[in-house]
Amino acid sequence: MHELGIALEIHRTCREAMAPHPGARIERVTVAVGELTAVEPDLLESAWEAAVAGSPDEGSEIRILWRPARQYCAGCRADKPRAEGSWLRLCPDCGMPLAVEGGEELDVLELAFIEPDGEDTDG
């Protein structure tokens, strides 16, 4: 499962961001996961637990914000709704080919960590 590699990468990114705060530990990390990344949110949660196990960040929380891909029609200048997991090639209203927008996000949006003195920090 490639989620473990992603979780380790997220952890590394968080640790880099916390470098100016020695002794701090992660409280919660918020990530955006796009539909087209082939990342399963449930698996990423489990992978996060595994990635931080045995580190000072063990027990921290990962919050996953799901970012679906959108189908955009240039003819109608509008997003077109679609059923979960299915794609339309052509706009049902005007027949133009639809473009896929978004869904490729895999970003750390927010990192909350706890300073060694116990003070909560957002940012």
Q: Toward Zn ion, which CB reaches closer, 1 or 100?
A: 100
Q: Toward Zn ion, which CB reaches closer, 53 or 74?
A: 74
Q: Which of residues 31-90 bind Zn ion (CB under 5 A)?
A: 73, 75-76
Cα-to-chain-centroid distance, residue 117 = 29
Cα torsion for 44, 45, 48, 53, to the nearest 10°? -140
93 binds Zn ion (CB under 5 A): yes
Contact 80, 71 (CB under 8 A): yes
Q: Which helix (H) or strand (E) holds 109?
A: strand 106-114
Binding-site size for Zn ion (CB under 5 A) equals 7
Q: Toward Zn ion, which CB reaches closer, 61 or 93?
A: 93
Min CB(50)–Zn ion separation in Å: 45
Binding footprint of Zn ion on the chain (CB under 5 A): 73, 75-76, 91, 93-94, 96
